[in-house]
Amino acid sequence: MNWRCVWVFAAVLFLAMVYQAPAPLVYTPGEGWTYEPPGKQVKWRRETALAQLQVAEQAFQKGDYGTALKAAKRILRVWPLSDYAPNAQFLIAQCYEAKRHDERAFKEYQKLIDRYPRCPLRETALQRQMQIANRFLAGQR
C-alpha cells in the first residue's frame, strides 16, 4: 500500500513538471528544429520569401544582426530557388561583416559569387571581398 502511494505521488509529480515545462525547441516541417525562447513570439518569420527578405533588411537597418541573419538564412533554407535568395545571401555576408566577422563574411560573399554568378550583386560582392582582403593585408583582424 505504501509503495503504491509513492508511485502515484511520483507519477503526479512527474506529470505536473512536464505540464509546466515550456518547449523551447520547436520542429517545423521543411525547416527542422529551431530554438524559440519561451514566452516570446517569433516576429521575424513570414510566409513568403519577399516578406521574409523585408524583415531581414529591416532588422539589418536597425542593427539587429542576429535577427537579420536568422531571417535571411531562413530564405535560403525554405526558398533556395527564389529570386530573393541572392539578396538573402548578400545580406548574410553583410551581417557578418557588420559583426566584424570578416573571414566568415568573405566566405559568404564567395558563396554568392559561386551560387549566383549572374546576380547583379556579384560585382559588389567582389569589391567587398577585396576590401576585406586589403584589411587583412593591412594587419587588421
pLDDT tens, position by position, 90-140: 999 999 999 999 999 999 999 999 999 999 999 999 999 999 999 989 887
CATH number for the segment(s) 49-137: 1.25.40.10
Question: Which grid cell is 52?
Answer: 521574409
Residue with cell 594587419: 139
Q: What is the largest CA-CA distance in the chain?
A: 79
* Domains in the chain: boundaries: 2-35, 49-137
pLDDT tens, position by position, 56-89: 999 999 999 999 999 999 999 989 999 999 999 9
